[in-house]
Structure 1
Amino acid sequence: MDVENELSQGGMEMAAFIMTESHEFITNLLSYLPAKCLCSCARVCKSWHKISQRLIKNRHEMSWSCVNGLEDNTCMLPSGDSQAHPMATFEVDLNECLKTMSSIPKHALLFTEFLSWKESAKFNGSQSNASSRGLRELTDIVRSKLPEGCTLLSLHTPGTFGTKRDLKLLEESESEGGISCLLLPEMENVRILQFSSTTNHSKELKKKYPQELMTEICGGCAADEVKCILLFGGMSHHNCQWTAETLQKAFYQELGKVPVIAGALVRKVKTTEPLSVGGLVFSGANVQAASVLLNEFVSTKADIKRQLAPLKNLNLEKGRRTIGFMFACIGRGLNHYCEENVESQVFRECFPDTPLFGLFGNGEIGRENLTLMEDTKSYKLPEVVHGYTTVVVLISIK
């Protein structure tokens, strides 16, 4: 019996040594865990904390949650109501996404056709005049699920573009209860900055010189490091248009070239309060971005493929992580093509491994920009705000 006890005690001591001192074994063991589990493991002991933090720091994978209300309406309301509800489905999917995500998200971009978590499942997207309280409720609930320090920009839109996490399904939702949330972690040599402006703040910005506006929105980033600005206007479409045009002018005056500036005019933009203008800035040596514009004369799949060809020829997907954004006029989609999911399907054919996000809005911001911030000798500043068009953006991260 004593021998067995000694062997048992010796085995436990060896196991304790391996689990606390064998860094190679611990690293290999913890490397299989998602980020949320690693955060719990970091509280076990100093050794696990150090290894967990190192593993998290070296992970840079983005993730996302996407639900099409009418098709994915399969879960129950958090309240226990027996009626299925698309927002409840999104809550379940977002929880699963955060649970299994290998990285810790630092920025979240939410596209939603819903204002309130408890709206009727029969909501058909027509409640454009709903109070800001509804959006605040949804934003606060989503924020409560995100890790501390993660920024959230919420866009209430008439329609959405979204991609399932397995990349097998990419579709458009036009007043069907669509909602998607893109989660972006910290990435090496990549800086993502959220900016926002209330109506009063926008009035103050208009008193500044273009370079001052550029410096404030870009958060002090060197101008030549800025590769893409996603810009959205909510309460005041005029402020958003002015911001887009002034930014384009400021970059051209400063550098003789312009980063991708793209986005849309939507129903509401919100961080912690309703905004006049909000968005995200992507900068850094490991970022590249380009965009194309599908005008009102693009009306067939062949036309779309032809317009996307120059974007594809840049080979931004090759060996890099890519994100696609599509900002379309509410008049396009089914009404324009007499067929569902046309533009998103052609995008998938051209970029099969790139997730696509975006929205249908009340005006589109963007233009063809395929320079990748290279110098251009001959350059003319084109219009940057349009109607009845679709702006397609591709962001590539090394």
Structure 2
Amino acid sequence: MEVLNESDIINEEEEEEKKQQANPPCKEVTYVMTELHEFLKQVFERLPARSLLRCSRVCKRWKSVATLILKARESFTWAQYNSHIWSREDERELPVPYILGYFGLDLNICLQEAWSVPTACLLLTEFKRTSDFHGTSLEEASGVDVDSYVSSLLPSSCQVVAVTVPGTVCTTRDLTNCAESEGEGGAVAILFPEMNGARITRFSIRNNLGGNIWEQSGIERHEDVKCILTFTPKTSTARKLAGEKLQEAFFKDGQTPVIAGAIVDHVLRYVVVNGGKSTTECIVFSGERISAASVLLDQDAYTEELVHKELMRLKSAGLSEKNSIGLMFACIGRGCDFYSAWDVESKVFRTLFPKTPLFGLFGNGEIGCTNLPQSKWKNLPEMAHGYTTIMCLISFG
């Protein structure tokens, strides 16, 4: 699979260098391709990130131009598979030569076409074993860990949070379709680039031990944190979930960032601490260009009309939708059986936010609350829930 992998790029460049030595280009071509900055800039601006990384190894001039272009790009992208919205109908029944099957195929295409180099990745998958993914034709798929395989396709500096869940929510990259998958083999990998005025990092919180929450997270006191996503394994026996501890710590410091997440089946990538004690994996979004808001859909929101009413509060928050993502953390008890219809909550969200991709999961418990820019808390809201959905909107301005 051809992806953003430095070793593959180096090997290809060595082969290309041998060819050039055997057939050296004329001096005029060499001058145009190495000295004319504006020409190189116009050519390179049309190339995806993977091609630019390869070009950056040719010479110092190419590296300089490619680096400047990559730094100016700030578009996130994603790969997904959902049997309800799989867009390649001609391949639905045909095995594909990718370890993760149809999801692996889309991930390969995504990485080939990615406009920016990913620095952080959130992987939500309904399968823990690669051999379970739909559509794979490779026998060696059974011996590979999902998280390790996905990480191997990404730059070594990319921070990955990977979890398995009972169900997923995802949107096609052309934004034409969005659907919920409940135990049907869905998966989504969201790839975040480096952005000016924004910081996206992962950290771990010990589930069953006390200690200073600031020291564990690595977050600076009064850092401009706008949103934290938390993923706690269902094997955790902690009386208070990490998401609750985080919100409590921020509230005591007079801060109210959006904290949202869920109890998941498994955390596939976590930092081993204190003899392998389980941890909650988190992704923190901070910086002046980021804004976030969330709403809680409780058991009283049981029809499409009531869901629409609650999500209008999120719409009224007034966050910029130009460069934004939606995140849905739903209880496994909601969804199709709860509404007696498919995709009710995701459908309403997409109606109100047609240009915002929605991702999410069905879990074993939800973390979050209604947290809007105009919210004025006198007391800390309840953060741990069941039979609810947390809808979160993150805007990158």
Please state whether the residue corresponding to 2:314 is helix, strand or coil. Answer: helix
* 1:214 Cα deviation after fit: 3.2
2:27 corresponding residue in structure 1: 13
2:263 aligns to what?
Answer: 265
Q: For residue 263 of structure 1, what is the amino acid of its counterpart? A: G
**Is the contact between residue 290 and residue 394 of structure 1 (CA under 8 Å) also seen in structure 2?**
yes
Distance 1:38 1:120 in 2: 31
Structure-2-length-normalised TM-score: 0.85
1:33 to 41, 44, 47: 47
Q: Does 1:385 align with 2:384?
A: yes
Is 2:319 the partner of 1:309? no
Q: Which residue of 1 aligns with 2:148?
A: 140
Change (3 A) 1:298 1:321: same
Query: Structure 2 CA distance, aligned partners of 1:36 and 1:240?
Result: 45
Change (3 A) 1:102 1:333: same
Query: What is the Cα-based RMSD across aligned positions, in Å?
Result: 2.4
Partner SS, residue 258 of structure 1: coil
Once residues 94 and 271 of structure 2 are traced to their aligned partners in structure 1, the CA distance between those partners, rounded to angstroms, is 29
Normalization by structure 1: what TM-score? 0.84
- Does the 8 Å CA contact 1:260/1:290 hold for their aligned counterparts? yes
8 Å contact kept, 1:34–1:99 = yes
State yes or no: 1:371 paired with 2:369: no
Correspondence for 1:54:
68
- Identify unmatched segments of 5+ residues in structure 2: 1-24, 87-91, 136-141, 273-277
Q: Give how far 1:57 is off.
A: 1.0
8 Å CA contact retained: 1:240, 1:265: no
- The answer to whether the 8 Å contact 1:221/1:283 transfers is no
Deviation at 1:15?
2.8
Q: Deviations over 1:309-350 (max 9, x none)?
A: 1210122134x4101000001011011100001100000001
Q: What is the correspondence of 1:151-230 to structure 2 with a 5 Å cutoff?
A: 151-197=159-205, 201-204=206-209, 206=210, 208=211, 212-217=212-217, 219-230=218-229
**Following TM superposition, by how much is the alpha carbon of 1:285 offset from its aligned partner in structure 2, in angstroms?**
0.7
8 Å CA contact 1:74–1:89 kept in 2: the answer is no
Q: CA deviation at 1:272?
A: 5.3
Q: 1:310 to 1:215 in 2, by over 3 A?
A: farther
Q: List gaps (5 residues or longer) in structure 1.
A: 1-10, 80-84, 123-133
d(CA) in 1 for partners of 2:261, 2:219: 21
Contact 1:324 1:357 in 2 (8 A): yes
**Aligned mates of 2:143, 2:236 — CA distance in 1:** 18
The farther-off stretch of 162-171 and 145-154 is 145-154
What is the CA deviation profile of residues 213-253 of structure 1, one whole-angstrom value per residue up to 9, with x for unaligned ones? 03431x23343501101011105444384322222221111
In structure 1, what is the Cα distance between the partners aligned to 2:379 and 2:49?
Answer: 46
How far 1:136 moved relative to its partner?
Answer: 7.0
With over 3 angstroms needed to count, the CA separation of the structure-2 counterparts of 1:75 and 1:151, relative to structure 1, is farther
Q: Once the two structures are aligned, what percentage of the paired residues are identical?
A: 39
Cα distance in 2 for partners of 1:74, 1:187 equals: 39
Structure 1 position 295 matched with structure 2 position 295: no
Q: Give the match for residue 113 of structure 1.
A: 126
Number of aligned residue pairs: give it.
359
Q: Secondary structure at the match of 1:262?
A: strand
Equivalence for 2:284: 281
Specify the SS of the correspondent of 1:277: strand
Inter-CA distance 213–88: structure 2 relative to 1 (3 Å threshold): same
Contact 2:84 2:179 in 1 (8 A): no
Question: Which aligned pairs between 1:89-128 and structure 2 lie closer than 5 A?
Answer: 89-119=102-132, 121=134
CA separation in 2, counterparts of 1:71 and 1:56?
A: 31
CA displacement at 1:70 relative to structure 2: 6.5
Asked if 1:334 corresponds to 2:336, the answer is: yes
Aligned to 1:7: none
Would the alpha carbon gap of residues 237 and 63 (structure 1) be closer, same or farther in structure 2, given more than 3 Å must change? same
Distance 1:65 1:357 in 2: 11
Contact 2:168-2:362 at 8 Å conserved across structures = yes
8 A contact 1:75–1:88 mirrored in 2: no
User: Is the contact between residue 192 and residue 283 of structure 1 (CA under 8 Å) also seen in structure 2?
Assistant: yes
Q: Which entry has the higher C-alpha Rg, 1 or 2?
A: 1
**How far did residue 18 of structure 1 move?**
1.7
How many angstroms apart in 2 are the aligned matches of 1:230 and 1:329? 16
